Amino acid sequence: MECHGEQRYTYEDCKRTADWLLAKTKHRPRVAIICGSGLGGLADLLKDQVAFEYTKIPNFPKSTVVGHAGRLVFGNLSGTPSVVMQGRFHMYEGYPLWKVTFPVRIFHLLGVETLIVTNAAGGLNPEYNVGDIMVIRDHINMPGFSGQNPLVGPNEERFGVRFPAMSDAYNQDLRKLAHSVAAEMDCSGCLREGVYCALGGPNYETIAECQFLQRLGADAVGMSTVPEVIVARHCGMRVFGFSLITNKAILDYETKEKANHAEVLEASRQSARTLEKLVSLLVQRIERNNNLA
């Protein structure tokens, strides 16, 4: 398959990568988790770990961003067979979106049913504070408005239909479950629910852009997540997403404050434990509900 002059991976290429991983580990994950900047500690919670460097996995891209370890870790999270990406890929690293989302198709071929995505995001909603956790209710795909979409090119029917619906991109039952788990953890006060807006990056947003995104209805803004969600839904997976609010959007022309990646990583570090526990308990509850079904 060709896209913009570049050779895309075929279904057979994806299957070769999945088969390589299946041959290297006995784990058969039902849940996949993609970790955002500074949130790779989720992988440390896995029991009976088997880890692979991205550079060792056939066809896998290489993560180049600080705060993204670049490892695929298999194991059991809260008793559930899981696989965790310690670091994702981004369009701003120079990768085409079909390559950014390549791991999601591998997860599908591994048998994953539920994808959990996490990211570090800037808070656009004035009620959000640094350290808040936002359950993603919906997204705005700004690159998609200009044709930047991971599904551009010939459609592979063995993954999904040509025109997948996105009105239910983020599973409502899992969102409700997350609020229930947060109440049990006594951290409902820092849990929000809102709309995530994806931009191309790598620069942070201008003040005018932040004001524009607020008017569009975005509560948080970042540079990732949406491409993976689109491909996961195309493959028929159910999706749940968290944004960790690591900085507040700059909206005042008189301020001397500036967003920077070091502060994002520090805010992620400080709130990561809460998010890790929330995800761990959520996975446990998903498994329990599946067993009751």
Q: Which residues does 6 contact at the CB level (< 8 Å), separation at least 6?
A: 96
142 in active site: no
**E-only strand ranges, 70-113:** 71-77, 80-86
146 catalytic per annotation: no
- 179 annotated active-site: no
Q: Is 261 in the active site?
A: yes
Active-site choice (223, 232, 237, 267):
223
Q: Please pick, among 171, 224, 268, 280, the residue that the annotation labels catalytic.
A: 224
> CA–CA separation, 239 vs 175, rounded Å?
10
Give the span between the Cα atoms of 59 and 66, in whole angstroms. Answer: 22
Catalytic residue status for 234:
no
Instruction: Tell me which of 93, 209, 263, 266 is the catalytic residue.
Output: 93
Q: Would you give the distance in Å from CA 262 to the centre of its chain?
A: 20
Q: Which of 247, 268, 271, 280 is catalytic?
A: 247
Query: Can you tell me which residue has the tokens 């956790």?
Result: 133
Say which of 1, 95, 261, 263 is annotated catalytic.
261
> H helices of the chain, where?
11-24, 97-100, 102-110, 172-184, 207-216, 226-234, 261-292
Spot the catalytic one: 18, 43, 120, 267. 120
Active-site residue, selected from the candidate residues 27, 68, 108, 234: 68
Contact status, residue 216 vs residue 197, Cβ threshold 8 Å: yes
182 is catalytic: no
Is 289 marked active-site? no
Catalytic residue among 90, 108, 139, 234: 90
Tokens linked to 148 = 């930047």
- Let me know if 90 is a catalytic residue: yes
Specify whether 237 is catalytic.
no
Neighbouring C-beta atoms of residue 177, cutoff 10 Å: 18
Is 180 catalytic? The answer is no
What CA–CA distance (Å, rounded) separates 290 from 293?
A: 5
* Catalytic pick among 37, 141, 171, 243: 37
b/e 2-18 (16+ beta carbons within 10 angstroms → b): eeeeeebbeeebbeebb
Catalytic residue of the set 92, 95, 185, 209:
92
Active centre residues (catalytic):
37, 68, 90, 92-93, 120, 223-224, 247, 261
